[in-house]
């Protein structure tokens, strides 16, 4: 894993900085040391800290505000994606683990305003790379494509607009996460669901995701999915598909 402070040596147009699940952690704050020299994509899940990590709900909320300030300072350089732990602050009906009633209204207001003003989005596509919180499974894609394909010409445009009009579709959870659906949604899919070829919605798209925690310091590769949720900042080299 390369030190972010040394990355000037790489060509700016060929690299993306990717930040996996935050949950109130501070590992991302080394990015604040400088103006972004590469685009930065946060993969979602800024809220709801793990009790065993010693981060309070108040600290997590302040961390979330810091991320928003960072985005507002460099709006063209930073992309903030939505995770399942943001979904339930749009509507309590979608609540999952570690949901905060105390901060519910505050998160809800910030997220709704942010979505209306394109501060947040569901996914980001760059070439054949799709950045999304948990990943798109073929079963979920096929069951909803009749609704979202008419919303745009690219998967990014289609899903970003679909999230605005039908958030309930993104609350679908598979049995692997104690849900009732055959496949998890793009913000709930579990990496174990991607292990067979028939689960992939598009073989030509490489999905960059967080959501499923991994123990390796390097991204975990399952088919054409790269899982980064390991509390580290990652730098993707677009021309090679490698993380440096």
Residues in the chain: 244
Q: pLDDT tens-digit profile of 68-80?
A: 999 999 999 999 9
Q: pLDDT tens-digit profile of 22-49?
A: 999 999 999 998 889 899 999 999 999 9
Does any domain span residue 35?
Answer: yes
Residue closest to 37 by CA, chosen among 11, 67, 63, 69: 11
Does any domain span residue 43?
Answer: yes
Residue closest to 87 by CA, chosen among 111, 71, 65, 110: 111
C-alpha to C-alpha distances, 173 to 3, 18, 168, 230, nearest whole angstrom: 36, 25, 11, 22
Q: pLDDT tens-digit profile of 127-179?
A: 999 999 999 999 999 999 999 999 999 999 999 999 999 999 999 999 888 88
pLDDT at 108 over 90: yes
C-alpha to C-alpha distances, 35 to 8, 68, 76, 84, 163, nearest whole angstrom: 12, 15, 12, 29, 31
Cα 199 to the chain's mean position, in Å?
Answer: 20
Give the residue numbers spanning the domain of 95. 13-243
Please state the rounded mean pLDDT for residues 113-121.
97
Does any domain span residue 130?
Answer: yes
* Res 187: pLDDT: 98
pLDDT band for position 1 (50/70/90)?
A: very low
* Res 199: pLDDT: 81
Please state the rounded mean pLDDT for residues 93-122.
97
224/129 Cα distance (integer angstroms): 10
Does any domain span residue 106?
Answer: yes
How many folded domains does the chain comprise? Answer: 1
50/194 Cα distance (integer angstroms): 26
* Res 196: pLDDT: 72
Please state the rounded mean pLDDT for residues 110-138.
97
What percent of the chain lies above the pLDDT cut of 90? 82
Average pLDDT, the chain: 93
| Residue whose entry in the numeric block shows the structure tokens 């104690």 | 178
In this structure, are strands 220-222 and 225-227 parallel, antiparallel, or unpaired? antiparallel
Q: pLDDT tens-digit profile of 82-103?
A: 999 999 999 999 999 999 999 9
Does any domain span residue 4?
Answer: no
Does any domain span residue 229?
Answer: yes
pTM, two decimal places = 0.94
Domain of 90: which CATH number?
A: 3.60.21.10
pLDDT at 230 over 80: yes
203/197 Cα distance (integer angstroms): 8
* Res 178: pLDDT: 84
120/114 Cα distance (integer angstroms): 6
What percent of the chain lies above the pLDDT cut of 70? 95
The CA R_g of the chain, rounded to the nearest whole Å, is 17
Does any domain span residue 119?
Answer: yes
Does any domain span residue 1?
Answer: no
């Amino acid at each position: 894993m390369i030190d972010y402070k040394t990355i000037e040596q790489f060509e700016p147009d060929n690299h993306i900085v990717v930040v996996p699940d935050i949950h109130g952690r501070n590992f991302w704050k080394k990015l604040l040391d400088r103006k972004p020299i590469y685009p930065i994509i946060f993969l979602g899940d800024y809220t709801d800290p793990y009790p065993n990590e010693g981060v309070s709900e108040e600290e997590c909320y302040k961390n979330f505000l810091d991320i928003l300030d960072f985005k507002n300072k460099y709006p063209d350089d930073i992309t903030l994606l939505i995770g399942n732990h943001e979904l339930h602050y749009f509507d309590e009906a979608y609540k999952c683990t570690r949901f905060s009633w105390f901060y519910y209204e505050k998160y809800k207001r910030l997220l709704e305003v942010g979505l209306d003003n394109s501060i947040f989005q569901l996914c980001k596509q760059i070439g054949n790379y799709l950045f999304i919180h948990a990943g798109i499974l073929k079963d979920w894609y096929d069951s909803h494509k009749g609704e979202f394909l008419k919303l745009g010409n690219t998967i990014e445009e289609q899903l970003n607009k679909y999230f605005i009009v039908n958030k309930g579709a993104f609350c679908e959870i598979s049995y692997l996460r104690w849900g009732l659906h055959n496949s998890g949604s793009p913000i709930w899919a579990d990496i174990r669901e991607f292990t067979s070829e028939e689960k992939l919605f598009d073989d030509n798209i490489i999905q960059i995701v967080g959501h499923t925690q991994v123990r390796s310091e390097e991204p975990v590769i399952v088919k054409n999915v790269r899982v980064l949720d390991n509390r580290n900042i990652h730098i993707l080299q677009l021309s090679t598909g490698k993380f440096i």
